[in-house]
Amino acid sequence: MSGHRATTKESLPVRRQPSETAKWHMSREAVDLSVPEIQGWTEAQCHEFLVEVRFGSRETVSCPHCGSVHRHYWRGHDNRWKCAFCGKTFSITSGTVFAHRKRPLKDLLTGMLMWINSAAGQPALELKRHLDTTYNTVFVWQQKMREGLVRGYNVGLLSGDIEMDGAHQAGRRSKEKRGVPQVSRPVETGAEEKGLTEMMLTQTGRMKANRKKKESGAFDPEFGRKLPKDRRILFAVRKRSGRPGKGAVATRVAVGLSETSPVAEAILKDFVAMPESWLNTDTSPAYQELGRRFMDHRTVEHSKEFSGPKGQNNNQAEEYNWRYDRAEKGIYLNIEPKYLLDYAVETAFRSDTRRLPNGKQLKLALHVAMSVGESLFWKGYTRGHHRKVELIHPAPQPAPASGPPKGTDPRRRMDARPPR
């Protein structure tokens, strides 16, 4: 009988235990604010929610014009305060990235909660359908939230056990593949005549040959070649929690043209307290000299192992790279280099707040976004006022406007005969 029981027990499938992340997302504590709850609020209740988020109390608020913190005069007929010192009036969104809004506060809070609830990110087109509004409205809302996180969240020094890694982003050769069958390959020929070689090459092969002739982007010393002109390196700097199984607790991100020592040094100076910290990286030559400035520099050779014999790893930085790839390839699709940092900071915020209830995530994101002043990048975007610089290290660089030149009629391009 005992043998029969043992056989039966061995034949039963092993039940997979849910991970700690799955347990958290399935728990009641993970959700403390819902869309139906916000939809049941009045405009006054939405106003009170934002007052708590921005000022913490209605008793003392800060005037965005003169900066005075006082119990200013409340004007209930238009939901505005009048400053007791400078006499100017202001609303709950005055002096924030959401200044000069047109939509009700309920729509704004609903849209931002939906954006927070998305695990990897949310397309603006999806939010447009949820709220039944214009694409420009929700797109600018989301971008202003990202701008607030770039200016207010991706700042400050980290210290302790630090991981750093760079990942190649953007610069995909989409033009070579567009309209070309996947089976098309450059014809390998041993002909010495240049004309015959060019004649036998396919369209893809000719474009690759032309790309090799002209200089493109920055030089990559690790692989000894030039990168595509629009290729960027996304650097992730993460602080370990120090507790087993808890991962990273803080993230800073930056964008560079190449993974070199000067770029890495500029990023570490902005985000890491060097003498007091430990650095964990891979064996890239960009970090070899910088490692001497830290208390210790631990490296892992990824071509051979994920973790060294003494536990050396930068798995938290690699985890961020995976999380960003999931957002870029699964949600946002082909992010332009000029706005790469904005989406990278959004991913960093989602990663750092992964164990917070969604209501607290919303409050934190709104508090940060409403504490950096009016929008510098997206104010007047629909009227043609676009960002003219790309935020990269060691210094921002001019960025050309995306899209066709002003005055171009897209119908002419559509009606034009395709080249043979």
Q: Could you read off the pLDDT tens digit of each residue along the chain, which spans 420 residues?
A: 455 555 555 566 667 788 888 888 899 999 999 999 999 999 999 999 999 999 999 889 999 999 999 999 999 899 999 999 999 999 999 999 999 999 999 999 999 999 999 999 999 999 999 999 999 999 999 999 999 999 999 999 999 999 999 999 988 766 656 666 655 445 444 444 455 455 455 666 666 666 555 446 787 777 778 888 889 999 999 999 988 888 999 999 999 999 999 999 999 999 999 889 999 999 999 999 999 999 999 999 988 888 888 888 999 999 999 999 999 999 998 899 999 999 999 999 999 999 999 999 999 999 999 999 999 999 999 888 899 999 999 999 998 776 666 666 655 655 554 444
| Residue 416 pLDDT | 52
- Please, what are the domains in the chain? 55-92 (no CATH), 161-168+236-353 (3.30.420), 174-226 (no CATH)
CA distance linking residue 184 with residue 316, whole number of Å: 39
The number of C-alpha atoms within 13 Å of 91 and in the hemisphere containing its C-beta is 16
| Residue 400 pLDDT | 76
| Residue 198 pLDDT | 53
CA distance linking residue 86 with residue 396, whole number of Å: 37
Pairing of strands 232-240, 225-226: unpaired
| Residue 228 pLDDT | 86
Distances (CA, A) of 9 to 1, 6, 14, 15: 12, 5, 10, 12
Q: With 0-12 CB in 10 A as exposed, 13-18 as middle and 19+ as buried, what is 72? A: buried
Give 111's contacts (C-beta < 8 A, 6+ positions apart).
127, 130, 131, 138, 141
| Residue 172 pLDDT | 72
| Residue 191 pLDDT | 42
| Residue 180 pLDDT | 62
Among 151, 145, 154, residue whose Cα is nearest residue 112: 145
| Residue 302 pLDDT | 83
